[in-house]
């Protein structure tokens, strides 16, 4: 039997995939990807994403305000997130976080939005899905302050930050997620950061339609391609592909209990 994988982060509602949901999911399953979390970053799209998850076994979703959209999306409240989280297939909060690379001018709004998502994670028990770029110091501080006030679960999605932020996240019991970036030939330093982490704290994702791993780099990414990142992950940790797939799937089950395998 083919090893089962989870794509813990994709964006199936994005225009690049319009009209292809059935085919995308079929190709993913052919590659052994039996579960996916599609991330909704716009409140106007939430009904569409929810319907996609409802229509497909093994497809789950999350909702959050992306930091790059913190000034253009309606400001979300803790109550909004709690209400949305009641849906059985809504399994995580985010992606949220801080992006000082593309949107440094909205730092204050991003921080306020991040704290709202942290409070919602604390209240609902759903894991936080974090986007971090060029904001390691503030990110480490805000995540730590929130966790000390009241613990919550979290994954550092598409992790490509520095070793210090990785250490902070791991010390808090959080997870690091490998994307196609970790599979790029020049990402040796990033792979070293992952290799220093416990395998039981690692997830794998595509972030599709972006960041396709080799041999598809530069092309549109899709959930089936998570298998290519997983092969690099297995090499990074010095384990078999089957062991890496099993470990990351079990990790996903722990962090996302609403999407965990039944039985």
Rounded to an integer, what distance in angstroms lies between the CA atom of residue 75 and that of residue 152? 22
> What distances in angstroms separate CA 159 from CA 67, 101, 149, 166, 169, one per listed residue?
15, 15, 24, 8, 11
Using DSSP, state whether 172 is helix, strand or coil: coil
Residues tagged in the binding site annotation for a divalent metal cation: 9, 11, 95, 131, 157, 207
Pair 165, 196: CB distance under 8 Å: no
Rounded to an integer, what distance in angstroms lies between the CA atom of residue 46 and that of residue 171? 33
3-class secondary structure per residue, 39-85: EECCHHHHHHHHHHHHHCCCEEEEECCCHHHCCCCCCCCHHHHHHHC
Rounded to an integer, what distance in angstroms lies between the CA atom of residue 185 and that of residue 28? 24
Residues tagged in the binding site annotation: 9, 11, 95, 131, 157, 207
Helices (H), the chain: 21-30, 46-55, 78-84, 107-124, 136-149, 163-171, 188-195, 226-237, 241-255
């Amino acid at each position: 039997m083919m090893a089962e994988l989870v794509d813990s982060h994709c964006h199936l509602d994005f225009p690049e995939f319009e009209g292809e949901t059935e085919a995308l999911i079929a190709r993913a399953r052919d590659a052994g990807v039996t579960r996916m979390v599609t991330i909704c970053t716009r409140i106007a799209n939430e009904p569409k994403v929810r319907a996609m998850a409802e229509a497909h076994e093994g497809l789950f979703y999350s909702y959050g305000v992306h930091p790059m959209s913190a000034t253009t999306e309606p400001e979300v409240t803790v109550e909004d997130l709690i209400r949305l989280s009641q849906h059985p297939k809504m399994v995580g909060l985010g992606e949220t976080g801080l992006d000082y690379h593309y949107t440094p001018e909205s730092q204050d709004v991003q921080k306020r939005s991040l704290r709202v998502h942290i409070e919602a994670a604390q209240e609902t028990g759903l894991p936080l899905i974090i986007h971090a770029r060029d904001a390691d110091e503030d990110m480490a501080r805000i995540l730590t302050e929130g966790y000390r006030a009241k613990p919550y679960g979290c994954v550092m999605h598409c992790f490509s930050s520095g070793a210090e932020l990785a250490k902070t996240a791991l010390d808090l019991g959080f997870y690091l997620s490998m994307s196609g970036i970790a599979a790029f030939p020049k990402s040796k330093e990033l792979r070293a950061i992952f290799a220093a982490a416990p395998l039981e704290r690692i997830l794998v994702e595509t972030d599709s339609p972006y960041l396709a791993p080799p041999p598809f780099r530069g092309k549109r990414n899709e959930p089936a391609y998570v298998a290519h990142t997983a092969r690099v992950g297995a090499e990074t940790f010095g384990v078999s592909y089957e062991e890496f797939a099993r470990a990351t799937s079990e990790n996903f089950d722990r962090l996302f209990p609403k999407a965990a395998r039944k039985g």
